[in-house]
Amino acid sequence: MTLVRDYLNQVDVWAEGRAIFGQMFDDYCRRFPGDRSTPPAIAIRDVLPEVLDAKVTFDPLSLNVYDRTRWQGGRFRVTVNALIRMMPDVLDVEGVENVCLCHEAIHIVRDADLLTQAQPLPFAGFETSSAITCYRADKPLTPDVVLRRREFRAEEAGRAAAVSIPHLLREQSFLDLIDAGRRRPVRGRAGWSLLYSAAKAIGVNRSAATKQLQLEGWIAIEPSRDGDKQILVQPGLITLAEARP
């Protein structure tokens, strides 16, 4: 949360990310009429190449890198690390990949100026394009405030767009979790299973869903008396579920 105070209004960034994805999905649906109910994190695999003309590849990268975007041959190239499954604590590989793609889509939309700048190599006559790389790290890896601001925005906006609350509210497992939490904390594996099932259904990994729901105040996570973590469904989420069409 420290980066929020230093750089950006987090709520505004979430709204921006969701607006960007809404516009991209509208553009995609105009080109390819069909089912408009697809969650953003699932649709992103088609939206990136069709709307943003980005080439998406899954290639091995360093184990401290999730993904990378560069401008190459007149086109954005997004590379997702094919070795994500080998990273510690990664449980939902496809969900992580989808959230990575959402993250990189924000970079392409918001940071095209940086990505398309040619950088000279240390020998005459050669240039290479800039790249934005998403590292697996808890702390910022660069002192450059502008770059840290870009990365924070892409992380927050991409995750918020991927963890679509309207799509979660269409999943029975998520509604069952809300119902179970109306009068008491949801303890044990059953509650977590419901949350993880809903996250998988909308194409995101469980940690991204849990983090976004916590940050937005829809759920709280607290230790129970027996030491396990329990889910506290907040009143606002119950109200939101009751108001759905």
> 92 φ, ψ to 5°?
-120, 85
pLDDT value, residue 7:
45
Q: Is the C-alpha dihedral spanning 165, 233, 216, 243 positive or negative?
A: positive
Q: Which two tokens stand for residue 79?
A: 């590379």
pLDDT value, residue 8:
58
In sequence order, the 6+-apart residues with CB closer than 8 A to the CB of 208 are: 95, 96, 99, 159, 162, 163, 199
Quickly name the fold that domain 167-243 has: Arc Repressor Mutant, subunit A (1.10.10)
pLDDT value, residue 136:
59
pTM of the entire structure? 0.88
pLDDT value, residue 115:
77
Q: What is the pLDDT along the chain (245 residues), one digit of tens a residue?
A: 444 444 458 999 999 999 999 999 999 999 998 788 999 999 999 999 999 999 999 999 999 999 999 988 889 999 999 999 999 999 999 999 999 999 999 999 998 887 777 443 333 433 344 577 776 555 444 546 777 788 899 999 999 999 999 999 999 999 999 999 998 999 888 899 999 999 999 999 999 999 999 999 999 999 988 778 999 999 999 999 999 88
Per-residue DSSP letter, 86: G
pLDDT value, residue 159:
98
> 42 φ, ψ to 5°?
-90, -40
Instruction: Give the closest residue to 116 by CA, choosing from 72, 155, 153, 150.
Output: 72
pLDDT value, residue 113:
81
Q: Which two tokens stand for residue 129?
A: 């394009």
Matching residue, tokens 């892409």: 154
pLDDT value, residue 144:
66
pLDDT value, residue 133:
73
Q: Give the N- to C-terminal CA distance of the chain in Å, as an integer.
A: 34
Report how far residue 57's alpha carbon sits from residue 38's, in angstroms, rounded to the nearest whole number. Answer: 22
Using only C-alpha atoms, what is the Rg of the chain?
19
Residue spans per domain, the chain: 2-162, 167-243
